[in-house]
């Protein structure tokens, strides 16, 4: 049977490998295996195991559960995991443990708002975790009283009156809440001896108005947290050195606002001046490369080598994201993996085995191992499907932007490309704006090439993966520096590739990419069709309606509505909608709290009023993550709407 192009319904045939966790002895790797149950319109997740001695890959958890987040106990006897469907009446993920030798899973913690980020203590008996709890009296009605700015979050919903706090539980015991009060615990980690807990929070009254967070220490049995840091850093994660004498944290000092590189800092565990270990490494620690064919792996953060001599981390450096190692004493950074896009990783107790999941532009993520035998892929869940598919391999090229900078770009030819023919082309714009395009697979891109389109994509100013200055150049300059880069990229592609039909160009993107799609159609008519997904159009109103808008405005658009009206409107496509001529489809999710539905509604009404052909497609029950983790049937319908619009106007 000959290979064929990718179809919409192939989405349901892929397998997603995520969250690889190597056992302490390095002998096995637990990971999350996800497939789509199209009839049930859901994702089926179970824990699978790879055995290093036999090379066998086998399913480890069964049943109707949606099982994720596997973590080995330090003695290797137990595996904890989260599951949200083992109790049909529950909607939130609860905490379970199962013997690693096999057997029945046991429910360890069942709390009202579910369990987040569980972690074993060194004694393999205690587990700490986070959960949202009521900080005052639980309301007696469904009326929501909002008293703080941070009361909603995309993908979570509304939670006024609740804050994440710290719990511990013994296997076989009852959960015990350790922290309480009007503050959020963002991250918590046991000390190596299990006697203390380090946590990240802000106890300031104005915590919702700032990105600044501090590290606190508290006894594992409970007590008053003691602040270690001095309110100078944006801190997102932490980890203890093996001996317990130092703490590492991921963060920055906000000197370039949200474009500041996240670095690895180390400090004495009892307090002291933090040292920036990765200051000379001009990439943001923890950043990855975009894809719509993955199940997200929880970020590993900064992982200490067993002897404390170095820390391992992931960072994006165009075109890939790989595992790096930074020397604790010298700050020298070494690339550990190369030529792959790595999502997550873990180390064995002696550091001799590294397990990671990685993809490229024509292969979804699979499980990889690095040990004394070398580096190798050990799963092949998607190979059978890939053999049936004819995929377009992206061709890399560079162009020069208006500043004379050389920037990366890619072109994907139609799968049945014929020399001498002219083809319509689609410009894809990533989200962020600090997102990254590179060597990672997009089902959407391969679907477009299978349908006879050329696909073009690049990383304009504001993108990640090129360094801090490149990312920061867009602050207060949305549309000013990025739009010229995108147009220069399209010009370069048209000059280089004669098979692109300049009269049949389309543009699409999601989130910031949706914003930029709206910007493009209000600043040029060179594109004959546009699809703006989960977009924004009004940076003035965005400030008050997005879950992050109140902090986003000053951090990215360099302004707030009550004193920077002109600056925010100048960066808003809505202001320029009178120039629009391009037929524009708006795709939006009704539960999107990141780029709320009102943004699409504003632009839809404006386009209608000025006479532009437009439609608004609304997806009920979906949030900002529709294209990546929405209900399978909705994801497929979204792709069909994109094809319908481009086919109508470009073919």
Pairing assessment for the beta strands 67-72 and 78-83 based on DSSP bridges: antiparallel
Which residues have a catalytic role annotated? 511, 624
Asked if residues 4 and 449 have their Cβ atoms less than 8 Å apart, the reply is: no
Cα dihedral 627/356/299/115 (nearest 10): 90
Residue closest to 275 by CA, chosen among 307, 311, 305, 318? 311
Residue written as token pair 């991250």: 187
Q: 2 is written with which tokens? A: 């000959």
List of residues 6+ apart from 103 with CB closer than 8 A:
none
C-alpha 480 chain-centroid distance: 26
Q: Is the peptide bond before 556 cis (omega within 30 degrees of 0)?
A: no
Q: 190 is written with which tokens? A: 């046991």
Q: How far apart are CA 570 and CA 480, in angstroms?
A: 10
Other beta carbons within 10 angstroms of residue 88's beta carbon come to 7
Q: How far apart are CA 628 and CA 430, in angstroms?
A: 13
Q: How far apart are CA 81 and CA 642, in angstroms?
A: 37
Residue closest to 368 by CA, chosen among 331, 396, 337? 337
Q: 400 is written with which tokens? A: 């020069």
Degrees to nearest 5, angle at CA 319 with 255 and 548:
40
Cα dihedral 600/606/609/615 (nearest 10): -30
Asked if residues 211 and 234 have their Cβ atoms less than 8 Å apart, the reply is: yes
Q: How far apart are CA 566 and CA 585, in angstroms?
A: 28
Q: How far apart are CA 387 and CA 383, in angstroms?
A: 6
Note the residue count of the chain.
651
Asked if residues 27 and 52 have their Cβ atoms less than 8 Å apart, the reply is: yes
Q: Which residues of 388-413 are buried (b: 16+ CB within 10 A; e: fewer)?
A: ebebbebeeeebebeeeeebbbbbbb
Asked if residues 263 and 292 have their Cβ atoms less than 8 Å apart, the reply is: no
Q: Is the peptide bond before 629 cis (omega within 30 degrees of 0)?
A: no
DSSP three-state, residue 181 = coil
């Amino acid at each position: 049977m000959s290979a064929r192009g990718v179809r919409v319904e192939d989405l349901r045939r892929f397998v997603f490998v995520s969250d690889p966790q190597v056992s302490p002895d390095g002998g096995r790797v637990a990971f999350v295996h996800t497939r789509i149950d199209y009839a049930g319109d859901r994702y089926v997740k179970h824990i699978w195991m790879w055995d290093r001695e036999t090379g066998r890959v086998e399913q480890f958890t069964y049943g109707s559960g949606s099982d994720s987040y596997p973590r080995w106990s330090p003695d290797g006897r137990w595996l904890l995991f989260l599951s949200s469907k083992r109790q049909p009446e529950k909607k939130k993920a609860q905490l379970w443990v199962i013997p690693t030798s096999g057997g029945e899973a046991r429910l360890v913690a069942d709390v009202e708002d579910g369990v987040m980020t569980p972690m074993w203590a060194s004694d393999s008996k205690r587990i700490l975790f986070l959960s949202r709890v009521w900080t005052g009296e639980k309301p007696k009605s469904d009326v929501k009283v909002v008293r703080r700015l941070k009361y909603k979050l995309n993908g979570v919903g509304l939670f006024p009156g609740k804050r994440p706090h710290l719990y511990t539980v013994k296997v076989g015991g009852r959960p015990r809440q350790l922290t309480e009060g009007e503050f959020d615990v963002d991250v918590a980690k046991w000390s190596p001896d299990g006697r203390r807990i380090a946590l990240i929070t802000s106890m300031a009254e104005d915590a919702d108005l700032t990105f600044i967070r501090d590290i606190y220490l508290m006894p594992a049995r409970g007590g008053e947290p003691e602040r270690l840091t001095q309110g100078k850093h944006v801190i997102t994660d932490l980890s203890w050195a093996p001996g317990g004498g130092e703490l590492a944290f991921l963060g920055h000092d906000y000197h370039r606002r949200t474009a500041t590189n996240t670095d690895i800092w180390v400090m004495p565990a009892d307090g002291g001046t933090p040292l920036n270990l990765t200051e000379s490494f001009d990439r943001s620690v923890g950043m990855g490369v975009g894809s719509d064919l993955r199940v997200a792996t929880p970020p590993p953060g900064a992982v200490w080598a067993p002897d404390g001599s170095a820390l391992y981390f992931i960072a994006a450096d165009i075109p890939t994201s790989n595992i790096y190692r930074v020397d604790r004493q010298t700050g020298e950074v070494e690339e550990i993996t190369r030529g792959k896009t790595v999502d997550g990783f873990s180390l064995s107790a002696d550091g001799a085995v590294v397990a990671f999941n990685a993809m490229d532009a024509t292969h979804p993520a699979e499980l990889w191992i690095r040990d004394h035998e070398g580096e190798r892929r050990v799963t092949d869940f998607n190979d059978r499907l890939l053999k049936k598919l004819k995929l377009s391999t992206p061709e890399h090229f560079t162009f020069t932007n208006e500043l004379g900078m050389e920037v990366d770009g890619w072109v994907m030819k139609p799968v049945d490309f014929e020399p001498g023919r002219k083809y319509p082309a689609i410009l894809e714009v990533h989200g962020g704006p600090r997102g990254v395009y590179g060597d990672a697979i997009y089902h959407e891109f391969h679907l477009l090439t299978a349908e006879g389109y050329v696909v073009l994509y690049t990383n304009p100013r504001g993108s990640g993966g090129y360094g801090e200055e490149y990312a920061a150049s867009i602050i207060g300059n949305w549309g000013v520096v990025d739009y010229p880069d995108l147009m220069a990229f399209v010009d370069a592609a048209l000059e280089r590739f004669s098979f692109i039909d300049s009269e049949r160009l389309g543009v699409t993107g999601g989130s910031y990419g949706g914003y930029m799609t709206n910007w493009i159609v209000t600043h040029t008519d060179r594109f004959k069709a546009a699809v703006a997904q989960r977009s924004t159009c009004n940076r003035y109103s965005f400030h008050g309606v997005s879950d992050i808008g109140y902090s986003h405005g000053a951090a990215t658009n360099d302004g707030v509505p009550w004193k920077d009206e002109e600056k925010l409107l100048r960066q808003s496509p809505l202001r320029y909608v009178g120039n629009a001529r391009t037929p524009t489809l708006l795709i939006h999710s009704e539960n999107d709290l990141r780029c709320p539905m009102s943004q699409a509604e504003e632009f839809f009404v404006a386009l209608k009023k000025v006479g532009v052909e437009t439609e608004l497609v609304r997806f009920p029950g979906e949030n900002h993550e529709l294209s990546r983790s929405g209900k399978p049937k909705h994801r497929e319908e979204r792709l069909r709407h994109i094809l319908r619009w481009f086919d109508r106007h470009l073919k």
